[in-house]
A and B are shown apart, each in its own frame.
Chain A
Amino acid sequence: AQSVTQLGSHVSVSEGALVLLRCNYSSSVPPYLFWYVQYPNQGLQLLLKYTSAATLVKGINGFEAEFKKSETSFHLTKPSAHMSDAAEYFCAVSVSGTYKYIFGTGTRLKVLA
């Protein structure tokens, strides 16, 4: 069965510092991986997705993620945090041929001034 693990339910960074949100997946077949963001009082929106093309994926708002098969990871990074990045971030996996997205438990990012 497919699963996703997000390490750290809460992460705090200073404004301008590197953002690193961790996601590890489990899948017996090549996965499709996603990062979604949920701002306060808003629906989830797609940040970026990996669908077996380039392993380094660039998304919106300066975020990117790298698919590392050997580490079964898909960590989300941003070089310089902005106050507007404060939100909850969800990693998700789906398996080729299915439409069930398995979400992680989420990481709440706090950006300190």
Chain B
Amino acid sequence: GAGVSQTPSNKVTEKGKYVELRCDPISGHTALYWYRQSLGQGPEFLIYFQGTGAADDSGLPNDRFFAVRPEGSVSTLKIQRTERGDSAVYLCASSPGSGNTGELFFGEGSRLTVL
């Protein structure tokens, strides 16, 4: 079966522009996570969805970042007024349900470069 799919794989944009990154989780997975991985760092938690609702968005760095999951499947991470510091690989992961003992299934990431 298909794994977690993220598009685009690469995105280059100019400072100040708006960006959308899409995540298509494994079918049937109710939990969806966004992480951000900056150069030389491990993934950092951004937001967690259980179904359609954002159960925890405490990792979003500021109000320029927003994510939705309107039908409980595909999720979109939206970044407004991009800044050079937003350059990173944005990782999406899904899991069958909530809880922390299970495995996260990661996509290959969307590499964002802000010029």
| Secondary structure dominating the interface of B | loop
Report the minimal beta-carbon distance from B65 to chain A, rounded to whole angstroms.
16
Number of interface residues of B (CB under 8 A): 28
A-B CB contacts (within 8 Å), total count = 62
User: Is the CB–CB distance between A99 and B108 below 8 Å?
Assistant: no
**B62 in the interface (beta carbon within 8 A):** no
> Considering only CB atoms, which chain B residue lies closest to A52 in the complex?
B101
Instruction: Please tell me if the beta carbons of B108 and A41 are within 8 angstroms of each other in the complex.
Output: yes
Distance A44 CA – B55 CA, assembled complex (angstroms): 23
B35, chain A: closest CB distance, angstroms: 8
Distance of B37 from chain A, by nearest CB (Å): 8
Q: How far is the CA of A45 from the CA of B93 in the complex (A)?
A: 10
Q: Are A51 and B108 in contact (CB under 8 A)?
A: no
Is the CB of B20 closer than 8 A to any CB of chain A?
no
Main secondary structure of the interface of A (DSSP, over half): loop
Taking residues whose C-beta sits less than 8 angstroms from the other chain, chain A's interface range is: 20 to 34
Contact B42 A90, beta carbon cutoff 8 Å? yes
Q: Whole-angstrom distance between the alpha carbons of A9 and B100 in the complex?
A: 26
A43 to B99, CA, bound (A): 21
Shortest Cβ distance from residue A83 to the other chain B in the assembled complex, whole angstroms: 22
- B43 and A90 contact, CB distance less than 8 A: yes
User: Which residues on A are within 8 Å of B, measured CB to CB?
Assistant: 4, 9, 32, 36, 41-46, 49, 51, 90, 92, 94-106
Chosen A-B contacts, 5 in total, with CB atoms closer than 8 Å, are A44-B106, A95-B100, A99-B56, A99-B98, A103-B44
